[in-house]
């Protein structure tokens, strides 16, 4: 079948919940993707920040194939070796104490919300506890995750959401303080907002929130689903701030392509929140998924992936800043590590389409922000190639 025939078939067979680009990718190799017609694309999207190691990183495929030959699934009624090893390695790199493996970021948020409310319930037996989330946040598409997503557009068709959720302003500590009362059980936000526009939390905001949570025994939940696993120049972004959460969520690059996530917590929360029977998942923590996590953790340590992010980030920032200075419709660059954004005064959809024509895969964050979340193993040559293609696309948009 041709690419058009596959697209036509998909439009008849798949539920239309995505406005997909008119491309069928066939395979990947390193930092590149290839469509069915053989066209080559530089991948600066990484499947929404998932392919941290690029495509077919040495040793990764082999680890999965080996696990398939041993055991794929047993359920959580039994222990399995990859889950135990993955949990131990993830605890070491994250600095957290307890792990629950899920299948996605949204499921990780669901578990974190339940853990926070159970923690509060076990303290006072009440069921009217409130959670403070942030405006312009994005946490997923399930009901719980939608309920704490600070964009009414995502929620309005599916109301009513779960109750007792309030929204404050990111990096606006006074707006948070104004919402806190004796019912508040948790404060939740992304350490770096992704869909909301690539906005990192400020150090002052993080520190003040942590202080408030400690004083009032409120749980701090940090969403590191997109900004975690090395993307910002530390294994988890919060580690750069020195502010440890009580609960954190992770997914995307955690398995580098295998659908997997987790929520983690401190020992204090682990001992005083979810108990046997409170939460579960059929596939979460299965041997295949955890073999992927375990190998990813090994590669990150052995090949110093985080150190590489720290080294390459200034070069990417320098090149993006130069483009921002060149085009008057680029307002600013912002971000942390290899999670960057260019805010434009024009819609970026046409720019992304021009990029695809030039063999560059990018994604937006909202209608006017170009988002850069490439594999973490990019080199300067890949940055230069991306800038050349993006410059051509920007020039075409400027002429339109």
Render 315-350 in DSSP notation, one character per residue.
HHHHHHHHHHHH-TTEEEEEEETTEEEEEESS-SHH
Mean pLDDT of 114-127: 97
The pLDDT of residue 75: 93
For residue 49, the model assigns a pLDDT of 97
Are both 86 and 197 inside the same structural domain?
Answer: yes
pLDDT band at 378 (very low <50, low <70, confident <90, very high): very high
**For the chain, percent of residues with pLDDT exceeding 90:** 96
- Shared domain for 349 and 296, answered yes or no, is no
210 in a structural domain? yes
Mark whether 145 and 172 lie in a shared domain. yes
Judge if 131 and 183 occupy the same domain. yes
Domains contained in the chain, number: 2
**Chain segment 59-97, per-residue pLDDT in tens:** 999 999 999 999 999 999 999 999 999 999 999 999 999
- As a whole number, mean pLDDT of residues 250-279 equals 97
109 shares its domain with 242: yes
pLDDT, tens only, 297-353: 999 999 999 999 999 999 999 999 999 999 999 999 999 999 999 999 999 999 999
Mean pLDDT across 10-21: 92
> Is it the case that residue 256 has pLDDT exceeding 90?
yes
Tell whether 48 and 11 lie within a shared domain: yes
* Residue 278 sits in the same domain as residue 182: yes
Averaged pLDDT, 241-248: 97
User: What pLDDT, on the 0 to 100 scale, is given for residue 299?
Assistant: 98
The domain spanning residue 86 has which CATH number?
A: 3.40.640.10
Percent share of the chain, pLDDT over 70: 100
On whether both 317 and 295 belong to a single domain, the answer is no
Counting every residue written for the chain, the total comes to: 400
Q: What is the span of the domain harbouring residue 26?
A: 3-56+305-399
63 assigned to some structural domain: no
Alpha-carbon distance of 50 to 374, in angstroms, equals 9
Whether residues 313 and 257 fall in one domain? no
Domain boundary among 302, 335, 362: 302
CA distance 48 to 259: 12
Q: What local confidence, expressed as pLDDT, does residue 364 receive?
A: 95
Q: Is the pLDDT of residue 399 over 90?
A: no
Residue 292 pLDDT more than 90?
Answer: yes
pLDDT, position 398? 79
Residues 125 and 165 in one domain: yes
Does 253 fall in a domain? yes
Please report, for the domain that includes residue 40, its CATH number: 3.90.1150.10
Do 137 and 196 belong together in one domain? yes
* pLDDT at 397 (0 to 100): 86
The stretches of the chain forming alpha helices (DSSP H) are 3-13, 46-49, 60-70, 81-94, 105-124, 143-147, 152-155, 173-177, 203-216, 267-271, 287-302, 305-326, 349-357, 380-399
Q: Is the pTM of this model over 0.85?
A: yes
CA dihedral for 389, 199, 133, 297, sign (positive or negative) = positive
Q: For residue 11, tell me if it sits in a domain.
A: yes
Domain end call among 251, 274, 302: 302
Which band of pLDDT confidence, cut at 50, 70 and 90, is reported for residue 366?
confident
Is residue 66 in a domain? no
Mean pLDDT over the full length of the chain: 96
Domain boundary pick from 255, 275, 302: 302
Do residues 75 and 44 share a domain? Answer: no
* pLDDT, tens digit, 9 for 90 and up, residues 275-286: 999 999 999 999
Query: Does residue 400 surpass a pLDDT of 80?
Result: no
In a domain, 184, yes or no: yes
| Segment 21-55, tens digit of pLDDT | 999 999 999 999 999 999 999 999 999 999 999 99
Give domain status of residue 61, yes or no: no
Please check whether residue 65 lies inside any domain of the structure.
no
């Amino acid at each position: 079948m041709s690419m058009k025939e596959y697209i036509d078939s998909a439009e008849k067979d798949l539920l239309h919940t995505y406005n997909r680009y008119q491309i069928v990718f066939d395979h990947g190799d390193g930092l590149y993707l290839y469509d069915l017609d053989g066209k080559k694309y530089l991948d600066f999207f990484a499947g929404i920040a998932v392919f941290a190691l690029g495509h077919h990183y040495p040793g990764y495929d082999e680890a999965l194939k080996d696990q398939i030959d041993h055991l794929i699934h047993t359920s959580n009624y039994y222990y399995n070796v990859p889950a135990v090893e993955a949990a131990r390695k993830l605890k070491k790199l994250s600095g957290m104490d307890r792990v629950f493996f899920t299948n996605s970021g949204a499921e990780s948020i669901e578990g974190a919300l339940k853990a926070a409310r159970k923690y509060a319930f076990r303290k006072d037996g009440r069921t009217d506890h409130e959670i403070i989330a942030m405006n312009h946040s994005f946490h997923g598409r399930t009901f719980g995750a939608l309920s704490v997503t600070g964009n009414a557009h995502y929620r309005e068709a599916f109301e009513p959401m779960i109750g007792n959720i309030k929204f404050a302003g990111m990096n606006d500590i006074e707006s948070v303080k104004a919402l806190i009362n004796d019912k508040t059980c948790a404060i939740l936000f992304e350490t770096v907002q992704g869909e909301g526009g690539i906005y990192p939390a400020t150090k002052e905001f993080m520190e003040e929130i942590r202080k408030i949570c400690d004083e009032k025994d409120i749980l701090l939940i940090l969403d590191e689903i997109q900004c975690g696993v090395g993307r910002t120049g530390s294994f988890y972004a919060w580690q750069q701030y020195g502010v440890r959460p009580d609960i954190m969520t992770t997914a995307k690059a955690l398995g580098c392509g295998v659908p997997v996530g987790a929520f983690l917590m401190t020992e204090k929360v682990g001992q005083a929140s979810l108990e046997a029977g409170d939460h579960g998942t059929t596939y979460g923590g299965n041997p295949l998924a955890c073999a992927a996590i375990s190998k990813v953790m090994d590669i990150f340590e052995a090949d110093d992936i985080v150190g590489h992010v720290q080294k390459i980030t200034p070069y990417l920032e320098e090149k993006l800043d130069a483009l921002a200075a060149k085009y008057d419709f680029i307002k600013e660059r912002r971000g942390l590590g290899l999670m960057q954004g260019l805010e434009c005064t024009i819609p970026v959809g046409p720019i992304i389409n021009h990029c695809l024509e030039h063999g560059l895969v990018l994604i937006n964050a909202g209608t006017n922000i170009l988002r850069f979340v490439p594999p973490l193993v990019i080199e300067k040559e890949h940055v230069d190639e991306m800038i050349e293609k993006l410059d051509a696309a920007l020039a075409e948009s400027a002429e339109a």
